[in-house]
Amino acid sequence: MNAQTIRAEADARLYRELSENEAVQRMRAAIDSQPGGGTRRSLLARALRLNGAIAPDELGIVEHCREVLDAELDVELYVYPSADFNAACTQPEDGRVFVLLSSSLLEGFTPAELQYVVGHELGHHVYGHHAIPLGALVAHAKDLPRRLVLRAHTWQRHAEISADRAGLLCCDGDLTGAASSLFKLSSGLRESPGQGRIGAFLAQAEELYAQSQSDSEQGLAHRDWLSTHPFSPLRLRALREFARMFDGSGQTMPAVELACQDLMELMEATYVEEDSPSAEAMRRLLFAAGAVVAASDREVHPSEIAALRSLLGHGNVPDSFNIEALRGVMPERIQAVRERCRGARRAQLMRDLCRIARADHRIHEAERAELASLARALDVDVSLIHETLDAPIELD
């Protein structure tokens, strides 16, 4: 078993599809034509490079993951100051790959947890995920077919599944470190969970999956809505399916892929394209509520408009809004969603509204209050709003 044989099937398939797309190729060429370099200089100036004298154990973890994943380039490890648990891996530069860890994560994660995190980040490099210019695709969504932008987001979710598997491979198939890492990333708690807490986290995955299945109207799928990134109980559930490859139970990759496909379907937002009265009601409310939420801090940021357009399409979202008029139609649109959409779909809508509020990387209290009021009007648990808005910046 190696990194290439465990790559998520949908990740590889959508990666090929996007790589062959002319618009993606043009964006990639434009990025490659720009002056390169500078990443290492910036890191040396603003972060601390960890070497054998400073962090020998952490450097040993990096080397272990590099060997397991057969990463050919040199890897440099950096730590930067941040109160959030976060990690990232950069594009290669001059024969080097840079793995970044926040100071909180470096200090708060055990060696087994760090092994999973570093393996996850290097997995993105090994699979070439940085070759798909997702940021550029989102930034230029108004000029691109909506289907292309949505496919890119779908690919990103499956790319995370591949990186998760790479992280578990670096843990020799032991789910403990990976599960503990996901628990900390989802909860923000620093203490490593025992088996009881991990069991409760997995039980939460089962409950969420069952709830998603029972609430899904007419069998329509919806996204995991506990966070803005799939670091959630459902993600752990998908990783547990893969971990069974290592426990002697006879689990096969085709079976893992089928289980993963079932889970990922729950994370898809189909109402943005679906042709049904309930989906139309959701889109109408998303437009009005998205604008009202974005304007609640007295400034609609361009990134918030871009986030709304990524869901509804550029042609359906103007450059400016009549906020008072939209606020006036909100009650009837809320009522339409209440009448036509079941609980899980209303929660999905609230999750997307949170995504719009987070697009400018800041949450104003007025935005939080507006979202909480909407959640109550839709009979959605307000804790969902706080969990989604307060989710830490996710691993890349």
| Residue 212's pLDDT band (cuts 50, 70, 90) | low
Which of 156-170, 199-213, 331-345 is least confident? 199-213
Q: Which residue has the higher pLDDT, 46 or 315?
A: 46
Is 239 within 8 Å of 165 (Cβ atoms)? Answer: yes
Task: Give the single-character DSSP code of 50.
Answer: E
Q: What pLDDT digit, counting tens, does each position of 222-238 carry? A: 333 223 345 466 788 88
State how far the Cα of 107 lies from the Cα of 192, in Å rounded to an integer: 12
pLDDT tier for residue 149 given thresholds of 50, 70 and 90 = confident
**Model confidence over 5-38: pLDDT tens digits?**
999 998 999 999 999 999 999 999 988 888 777 8
> Mean pLDDT, to the nearest integer, of 204-221?
52
Q: How many helices and strands, by DSSP H and E, does the chain display?
A: 18, 4
Q: Give the DSSP per-residue string, 229-264.
A: SS-SHHHHHHHHHHHGGGTTS---HHHHHHHHHHHH
Residue position matching structure tokens 């590889």: 12
356 compared with 209, residue with greater pLDDT: 356
Cα–Cα distance for residue pair 348/385, rounded to 1 Å: 11
Query: pLDDT for 113-128, tens place per residue?
Result: 999 999 999 999 999 9
How would residue 184 be classed by pLDDT, with cut points 50, 70 and 90?
A: confident
220 falls in which pLDDT band (50, 70, 90)? very low
Query: Of 147, 124, 120, which Cα lies nearest the Cα of 270?
Result: 147
pLDDT number for residue 326: 94
Sheet bearing 87-89, strands edge to edge: 48-50, 74-80, 96-102, 87-89
Percent of the chain scored above 70 by pLDDT? 88
248: phi > 0 → left, psi -120 to 50 → alpha, else beta; which? left
Q: How far is residue 78's CA from residue 40's CA, in Å, rounded to a whole number?
A: 10
Distance CA 185, CA 219 (A): 30
**pLDDT given at position 234:** 73
Delineate the domains of the chain, giving CATH numbers in brackets. Answer: 4-265 (no CATH), 277-389 (1.10.3680)
What is the pLDDT confidence band of residue 275, given thresholds at 50, 70 and 90? low
Mean pLDDT within 52-72: 93
